[in-house]
Amino acid sequence: MAHVIAAPCVADYSCVEICPVNCISPRAADRDFDDAEQLYINPDVCIDCGACVEVCPVLAIFEADCLPEKWRHYAQVNREHFLGKGE
Ligand code: SF4
Ligand code: SF4
């Protein structure tokens, strides 16, 4: 299981630096950093520490098991962001 970023994300990058395993993208060095509409959590790397939840100003981050029904598909949206990136 992992944490998931859902629709409310405003891409303010507050969560990126706090993540102890650097699993939130895009990061400053990534090509899609400048025009990202939301950020994503790599579910294969996230260790479920919960640190990102505390810093998100819009409550966009949930444990996968606790995603509101209307945003449940964001678990797959987050996962798909990393497909083929070798991360
Ligand atoms: S729960 Fe922890 S490891 Fe997972 S994305 Fe948030 S800060 Fe990173
Ligand atoms: S802290 Fe919240 S709003 Fe900001 S980038 Fe992370 S998930 Fe998106």
Closest atom of ligand 2 relative to the 14 alpha carbon: 1
Q: What is the pLDDT of residue 47?
A: 98
**Close Cβ partners of 17 (under 8 Å, ≥ 6 residues apart):** none
Residue from 57, 61, 69 nearest 40 by CA: 61
d(Cα 58, Cα 56) in Å, to the nearest integer? 6
pLDDT bracket for residue 76 (50, 70, 90) = very high
> What pLDDT does residue 86 have?
54
- What are the boundaries of each domain within the chain? 3-82
pLDDT one-digit tens code per residue, 2-60: 999 999 999 999 999 999 999 999 988 888 888 888 999 999 999 999 999 999 999 99
Mutate to test the pocket of ligand 2, among 4, 9, 40, 55 (most ligand atoms within 8 A of CB): 9
Res 50: pLDDT: 97
Residue 2: CB atoms within 10 Å? 18
What ranges in the chain are assigned the alpha helix state H? Answer: 51-55, 74-82
What fold does the segment set 3-82 form as a domain? Alpha-Beta Plaits (3.30.70)
Higher local confidence (pLDDT), 28 or 77: 77
Rg, the chain, Cα only: 12
Distance CA 82, CA 87 (A): 7
Q: Is 51 in the pocket of ligand 2 (CB under 6 A)?
A: no
